[in-house]
Amino acid sequence: MAGGHLLLTADAVGGVWQYSTDLAAALQPFGWEVTLATMGPPLSEVQRSEAAAIPNLQVVETGLELDWLATDAASVLAAETRLAELAADLRVDLVQLHTPALVSAGRYACPVVAVLHSCVATWWSAVKEGPMPADFAWRSGLVQHGLKRAMLAVAPSAAFAQMAHLHYGVVPLAVHNGRFLLVRPRAMEDSVFTAGRLWDEGKNLGVLDEVADRLALPFNAAGPVSGPGGASIRFRALQPLGTLDTGALADQLASKPLFVSAALYEPFGLAVLEAAIAGCALILSDIPTFRELWDGAAIFVDPNDAHGFVSAINETIENVAARQEAGRRAQKRARRYTPAAMAATMARHYAALQRRAAA
């Protein structure tokens, strides 16, 4: 067991936080001590408690501006400089960044892993048409530079890695995300559930609101309804629950609601995995990422076919045995995507990078 000291960066606002804390905890058996440098707003008390429960993890709340909220490239480069200084001060063996944009200037003195969790260029191609706006173009440029400078680039699915290749000319290594979620199951209830950044056009919540309007079942949606830059969404029929912490999310999933996603863009989809861990039947948009991860364990519908989603939901609800079997298939598939498997793969690559750096 080699291991070492890893500086891991995270955006504390979204799913990257869960990815980072799950990875850090799962790296302990491989001998890694982790310093988690968070960017953006301060952590919540729940997040601080989650981090404190991980023995091999120390958190540094940097307060640095998030790359996706920065107003110009100089702000992102300034954040990179500060993170490189932190890595040097801590004398870490390896740095793993939550976006390649933070290695675009190549300022680190040790090996760097850049994880492409998502990016504006691939989002734009999946959700919009025409050329990217200037505000997206410079961000995409930083990501491209970072992918080429990092010693290792990683993406959470092979489908997303191929999307990145089309835009950046680099094929990141696909390492599937893992998730641990403790769910205490209750009796199954007839309801529908979705979760994510509800304001994000890539999540396609307008279609699900139309679906909810045609159902006789409650359809709940967890996640924020407003985002940066004034992005927001209002619903006619979907019941917004707000942002749920891990415990509240597990409670929602305990009764095994049907989990539905009509996403147009999804590099991985932690919310789908969380639902599958709980044994929920999955009804998902037919996009390459979901096919890669859940083919044979989910029902697939064209993402813009509201009628198709309504039919799939009603048919699944009406056949209890089939719904239970679908939940079991999803739960079985979810066992592939564990923090332990993710950490084992990453630890192998860390060791290879350490050997390269020492050669």
Tokens describing residue 131: 């050329």
User: Are residue 213 and residue 146 in the same domain, yes or no?
Assistant: no
CATH code for the domain of 54: 3.40.50.2000
User: Are residue 293 and residue 312 in the same domain, yes or no?
Assistant: yes
User: Are residue 209 and residue 278 in the same domain, yes or no?
Assistant: yes
User: Are residue 209 and residue 308 in the same domain, yes or no?
Assistant: yes
The confidence score (pLDDT) of residue 1 equals 61
Please list the pLDDT of the chain residue by residue as tens digits (359 residues): 679 999 999 998 778 999 999 999 999 999 999 999 999 999 999 999 999 999 999 999 999 999 988 999 999 999 999 999 999 999 999 999 999 999 999 899 999 999 999 999 999 999 999 999 999 999 999 999 999 999 999 999 999 999 999 999 999 999 999 998 999 999 999 999 999 999 999 999 999 999 999 999 999 999 999 987 788 999 999 999 999 999 999 999 999 999 999 999 999 999 999 999 999 999 999 999 999 999 999 999 999 999 999 999 999 999 999 999 999 999 999 999 999 999 999 999 999 999 999 98
User: Are residue 236 and residue 314 in the same domain, yes or no?
Assistant: yes
User: Are residue 44 and residue 149 in the same domain, yes or no?
Assistant: yes
Measured distance CA(82)–CA(132) in Å, rounded: 29
The answer as to whether 186 is a domain residue is: no
Contact in structure between 54 and 21 (CB atoms under 8 Å) = yes
When divided into structural domains, the chain yields a total of 2
Backbone angles phi, psi at 297, to 5 degrees: -130, 10
User: Are residue 169 and residue 236 in the same domain, yes or no?
Assistant: no
The answer as to whether 118 is a domain residue is: yes
The answer as to whether 183 is a domain residue is: no
The answer as to whether 159 is a domain residue is: yes
**Listed residue (354, 328, 208) closest to 256, CA to CA:** 328
How far CA 27 is from CA of 21, 30, 33, 96, 137, in Å, comes to: 10, 5, 8, 13, 35
Report which DSSP code applies to 165: H
The confidence score (pLDDT) of residue 157 equals 99
The answer as to whether 250 is a domain residue is: yes
Measured distance CA(281)–CA(160) in Å, rounded: 24
User: Are residue 162 and residue 19 in the same domain, yes or no?
Assistant: yes
96 DSSP β-pair partners: 8, 113
The answer as to whether 184 is a domain residue is: no
The answer as to whether 217 is a domain residue is: yes
The confidence score (pLDDT) of residue 169 equals 96
Per the listing, tokens 């979901």 go with 290
Per the listing, tokens 């990422």 go with 289
Range of the domain at 345: 4-178+338-358
The answer as to whether 43 is a domain residue is: yes
- For 40-107, list the strands marked E by DSSP: 57-61, 94-97
DSSP string, 198-237: TT-GGG-HHHHHHHHHT-SS-EEEES-SB-GGG-B---SS
Measured distance CA(133)–CA(239) in Å, rounded: 33
Contact in structure between 49 and 23 (CB atoms under 8 Å) = no
User: Are residue 347 and residue 308 in the same domain, yes or no?
Assistant: no
Per the listing, tokens 């699915």 go with 157
User: Are residue 8 and residue 77 in the same domain, yes or no?
Assistant: yes
152 DSSP β-pair partners: 113
Q: Where are the alpha helices (DSSP H) in the chain?
A: 15-27, 45-52, 73-90, 120-127, 134-149, 158-168, 205-213, 246-253, 270-277, 288-294, 306-318, 320-334, 339-358
Contact in structure between 351 and 105 (CB atoms under 8 Å) = no
pTM beyond 0.75: yes
Measured distance CA(271)–CA(250) in Å, rounded: 11
Contact in structure between 23 and 337 (CB atoms under 8 Å) = no
User: Are residue 248 and residue 130 in the same domain, yes or no?
Assistant: no
User: Are residue 173 and residue 242 in the same domain, yes or no?
Assistant: no
In terms of Cβ atoms closer than 10 Å to its own Cβ (0-12, 13-18, 19+), residue 228 is: exposed
